Amino acid sequence: MADLRVLVEQANAAYYVEDAPTIDDATYDALKAELVALEAEHPHLAEPDSPTDRIGAAPSEAFGKVTHSVRMMSLENAFAASDVTDFVARIRGFLSLPDDAPLVMTAEPKIDGLSLAIRYESGRLVQAATRGDGTTGEDVTANARHIRDLPHRLAGPDVPELLEVRGEVYMTHADFAALNDGAEGRVFANPRNAAGGSLRQLDPAVTARRPLHFFAYGWGALSRPLSDTQSGSVERLAALGLKTNPLMRRCDTVADLLEVWSEIEQRRATLGYDIDGVVYKVDDLALQGRLGFRSTTPRWALAHKFPAQTAWTRLDRIEIQVGRTGALSPVARLTPVTVGGVVVSNATLHNEDYIAGRAADGTEIRDGIDIREGDWVRVYRAGDVIPKIDAVSLERRPADARPYAFPQTCPACGSDALREPGDAVRRCTGGMACPAQAIEKLRHFVSRAAFDIEGLGTRQVEAFYRAGWIAEPADIFDLAARREDLLATEGYGEKSVSALLAAIEARRVIPLDRLIFALGIRHVGEQAARLLARRFHDWPAFVATVDAARVEGSEAWGDLTSIDGVGTVMARSLTTAFAQPSERGAIDRLVAQLTEIQRIEAPQAPDSPIAGLTLVFTGTLEQMSRAEAKVRAEALGAKVSGSVSARTDLVVAGPGAGSKARKAADLGVRVIDEDEWLKIARG
Ligand code: IVH
């Protein structure tokens, strides 16, 4: 059986990965049939990763969650060649690399699929997880075993103990077309959705019938480095039996990068799979390490996107959607048109100025041409973004087309819709009395990054709101009293109602950052909520500060706005929301339903001599750029400030340090030189 497994695996790799079959189909089928028969006869000898269970493995329950040991990042986007020049200049600046010092970069296609992390232990595929939110993804191991380009066992003599491969799952154009024309009848919008839908199938047998492919371009956790360069590591991945993209190149200059970009763009239509740009990466992994990451993207990589694709179509109607914070957002309903392979029937119109042909600062957009119902418009889409309209045809404008009159009242509740001075957006003043706002708030509340209640999705929330069972988040926790009503609802049975009510009960315990995000306060996103939770640790401290910060310039106001990443706009939005009686009422009623708001601790300060200290850099640093010094100091747990005060703990003074070094001396603050700083920085 072991021999048969190896033979079948080798044949699979030759056929699917190398595109160079080593045996004919009949021989392959016979080997596989023999293995299947033996496994049926001796089930205790069947391996969990046998090539025979690529089809028809047992259906799993809903996907489990996987916490990524190394966060899965996204990429900074660029559209213009000048962005690429800036990117390389920024890297050189950060690393203090002179213009004539070599800096090798790689360039490779940006595959338009979905990212996957696959864990190999002692060379065996043991787990595969989707990106999810970057921190936690879905366990799709059973399905990933059906991806043809993924070996179940790594090849070669030097297989690492642990290797987490990262790359992109995609579907080819040909397979996509066949799937859409096939018996399953399900029509996906594009190959990327088809790949996503196929990978996240509850029944692995369905995944098995969907031809998925994979390109490896990176890694997460590793027992030992693959190489000391990006390109060398990717070569190692290929040697281990993983499929890597053949178009990857090493480049020495920005001109080389742009040339590869043009070459890849020219080949785009004939590749047979979707790509949406070219990714550039610093080749030297030691330099990647020094450059590090911003909150969600590495400093050492850039996605240089291809230009947007466009198409002309008719704008049938303009509709207004009312958002969670009352914003009236106009949406264009279009006669469906294919733009770069995707059917588009809606486009965003931003706000009333945009429709009128004006930008926020009063300057003209589209040469001042307004958008009217019945117009022919040019639609474009770039990457993932919502399609937009960038041109209007005056020649084809119908004679009876009238300028669009933006509503002055909320279409959902009839309340006045007002525009504050300086705000581009008109907002409904109905608050929670407006059904559209209430539903959007509830949808936000149950969303994945907020309360994430199993079985309570946006559709259910909307239905329960319309039935009059829930009007605000706090009411969700009273749904237990609606058991009979729920049982009478279509699609619910004894089991699902019990499961739903249990899931709701479980959420009476919630981490502080999720709670803050769930409140749906304007400008307070997921990242901001995390920063606030880390700073204030518990709910009482957070509320006390927000309440006291109502007086701008107060100490509490200072506490709030001194958080890196919390500006005055966000602080004002928070204090306003908490001071507004109806909104505060809803918040207090929600909190009364909770049994525990879990504390959030600030991330452990690293063990370093400067952890917790406030540093100021002044003068010229000769060995390390200011940018790198700041990032390094922060990684060591210090805070970097621009000016010296009584709160400064340490000043790093390079040559030419002037007033700041003098002020430090006056205040008795410790001053060190660059050499001493480098000793700290390099541990
Ligand atoms: S590198 C830390 N390389 O693009 C850097 N990503 O927009 C991780 N993608 O989440 C990404 N092709 O899913 C990298 N050749 C490539 C890629 C690629 C496609 C995806 C990946 C990532 C997304 C960011």
What does the pLDDT read at residue 11? 72
Higher pLDDT, 428 or 209: 428
* Residue 385 predicted with pLDDT over 80: no
Ligand 1 atom closest to the CA of 114, numbered from 1: 13
CA distance 234 to 242: 9
What does the pLDDT read at residue 14? 55
Burial class (CB in 10 A: 0-12, 13-18, 19+), 412: buried
Q: Which of 108, 165, 168 to mutate to test the pocket of ligand 1 (most atoms within 8 A of CB)?
A: 168
Closest CA to 67 of 118, 116, 166, 134: 134
CA distance 113 to 659: 54
What does the pLDDT read at residue 113? 93
Q: Residue 666 sits in a domain of what CATH number?
A: 3.40.50.10190
Query: Is 320 within 8 Å of 328 (Cβ atoms)?
Result: yes
In a domain, residue 608? The reply is: no
What does the pLDDT read at residue 156? 84
Count the domains in the chain.
5
Classify 106 in phi/psi space as left (phi over 0), alpha (psi -120 to 50) or beta: beta
CA of 113 to the centre of ligand 1 (A): 9
CA-CA-CA-CA dihedral for 505, 506, 512, 515, to nearest 10: -50
Q: Is 243 helix (H, G, I), strand (E, B) or coil?
A: coil
Tokens 């499929």 correspond to 243
Phi/psi of residue 130, nearest 5 degrees: -75, 170
What does the pLDDT read at residue 19? 40
Q: Token pair for residue 369?
A: 């041409």
Burial class (CB in 10 A: 0-12, 13-18, 19+), 295: exposed
CA distance 598 to 129: 27
Residues 208 and 187 in one domain: yes
Residues 321 and 223 in one domain: no
Residues 119 and 213 in one domain: yes
Q: In which band, very low, low, confident or very high, does the pLDDT at 25 lie, cut at 50, 70 and 90? A: low
Q: Token pair for residue 279?
A: 């990714």
* Residue 103 predicted with pLDDT over 90: yes
| Ligand 1 atom 15, closest CA | 110
Handedness of CA 85, 624, 72, 569 (dihedral sign): negative
Q: Across residues 210-225, what is the average pLDDT?
A: 96
Ligand 1 atom closest to the CA of 297, numbered from 1: 2
Residues 266 and 151 in one domain: yes
Single residue among 352, 375, 396 that ends a domain in this structure: 396
In a domain, residue 557? The reply is: yes
CA distance 16 to 10: 10
CA distance 426 to 415: 12
Single residue among 305, 327, 353 that ends a domain in this structure: 305
Pairing of strands 114-121, 417-419: unpaired
User: Cα dist. 653→169, 225, 623, 626 in Å?
Assistant: 50, 36, 13, 11
> How big is the CA angle at 541 (ends 537 and 542), to the nearest 5 degrees?
80
Residues 591 and 462 in one domain: no
In a domain, residue 314? The reply is: yes
Q: Token pair for residue 138?
A: 């879905």
DSSP element (H, E) containing 438: helix 435-446
Q: What share of the chain is helix, strand, coil (3-state, %, to 5)?
A: 40, 20, 40
Q: Residue 570 sits in a domain of what CATH number?
A: 1.10.150.20
CA distance 349 to 213: 37
In a domain, residue 341? The reply is: yes
Residues 271 and 122 in one domain: yes
Q: Report CA 571 to chain centroid distance, whole Å.
A: 25
* Residue 54 predicted with pLDDT over 70: no
Residues 186 and 262 in one domain: yes
What does the pLDDT read at residue 16? 44
CA distance 662 to 647: 16
CA of 469 to the centre of ligand 1 (A): 43
In a domain, residue 240? The reply is: yes
Residues 6+ apart with CB under 8 A from 503: 453, 454, 455, 456
Ligand 1 atom closest to the CA of 77, numbered from 1: 7
Closest CA to 614 of 586, 651, 577: 651
Q: Mean pLDDT check: name the lowest of 113-127, 172-186, 427-441.
A: 172-186
Q: In which band, very low, low, confident or very high, does the pLDDT at 190 lie, cut at 50, 70 and 90? A: confident
CA distance 365 to 550: 38
Q: Mean pLDDT check: name the lowest of 466-470, 512-516, 663-667.
A: 663-667
Q: Which amino acid is at 227?
A: S
Residues 128 and 270 in one domain: yes
Q: Which amino acid is at 63?
A: F
Closest CA to 590 of 440, 450, 431, 428: 450
| Ligand 1 atom 23, closest CA | 74
Residues 299 and 319 in one domain: no
**How far from each other are the two terminal CA atoms of the chain, in whole angstroms?**
53
The catalytic residues are 110
Q: Mean pLDDT check: name the lowest of 24-38, 108-122, 159-173, 485-499.
A: 24-38
Ligand 1 atom closest to the CA of 74, numbered from 1: 24
- Residue range(s) defining the domain that contains residue 484: 431-507
Pairing of strands 275-282, 426-428: unpaired
Q: In which band, very low, low, confident or very high, does the pLDDT at 658 lie, cut at 50, 70 and 90? A: confident
Q: Which of 70, 72, 111, 293 to mutate to test the pocket of ligand 1 (most atoms within 8 A of CB)?
A: 111
CA distance 111 to 383: 11
Ligand 1 atom closest to the CA of 131, numbered from 1: 10
Q: Residue 337 sits in a domain of what CATH number?
A: 2.40.50.140
User: Cα dist. 588→182, 391, 515, 519, 556 in Å?
Assistant: 54, 48, 12, 11, 21
CA of 214 to the centre of ligand 1 (A): 13
Q: Report CA 394 to chain centroid distance, whole Å.
A: 39
Phi/psi of residue 477, nearest 5 degrees: -75, -5
Q: Across residues 291-296, what is the average pLDDT?
A: 89
| Ligand 1 atom 13, closest CA | 115
Q: Token pair for residue 421?
A: 């001075």
In a domain, residue 189? The reply is: yes
* Residue 390 predicted with pLDDT over 90: no
CA of 75 to the centre of ligand 1 (A): 6
* Residue 281 predicted with pLDDT over 90: yes
What does the pLDDT read at residue 60? 35
Pocket of ligand 1, beta carbon within 6 A = 73-75, 108, 110-111, 115, 168, 217-218, 279, 298, 301, 303
Residues 6+ apart with CB under 8 A from 46: 1, 39, 52
Residues 647 and 533 in one domain: no
Whole-number mean pLDDT of the chain?
Answer: 89
Q: Which of 68, 110, 165, 300 to mutate to test the pocket of ligand 1 (most atoms within 8 A of CB)?
A: 110
Ligand 1 atom closest to the CA of 245, numbered from 1: 15
**The pTM of the whole model exceeds 0.85:** no
Ligand 1 atom closest to the CA of 110, numbered from 1: 12
Q: Residue 243 sits in a domain of what CATH number?
A: 3.30.470.30
Q: Which of 73, 74, 75, 108 to mutate to test the pocket of ligand 1 (most atoms within 8 A of CB)?
A: 75
CA of 73 to the centre of ligand 1 (A): 8
In a domain, residue 60? The reply is: no
| Ligand 1 atom 17, closest CA | 110
Residues 240 and 280 in one domain: yes
Residues 108 and 176 in one domain: yes
Count of beta carbons in the 10 Å neighbourhood of residue 536: 22
* Residue 488 predicted with pLDDT over 50: yes
Single residue among 573, 598, 623 that ends a domain in this structure: 598
CA of 283 to the centre of ligand 1 (A): 15
DSSP state of 17: I
Q: Is 235 helix (H, G, I), strand (E, B) or coil?
A: helix
In a domain, residue 2? The reply is: no
CA of 47 to the centre of ligand 1 (A): 33
CA of 471 to the centre of ligand 1 (A): 41
Closest CA to 357 of 379, 376, 347, 372: 372
* Residue 61 predicted with pLDDT over 60: no
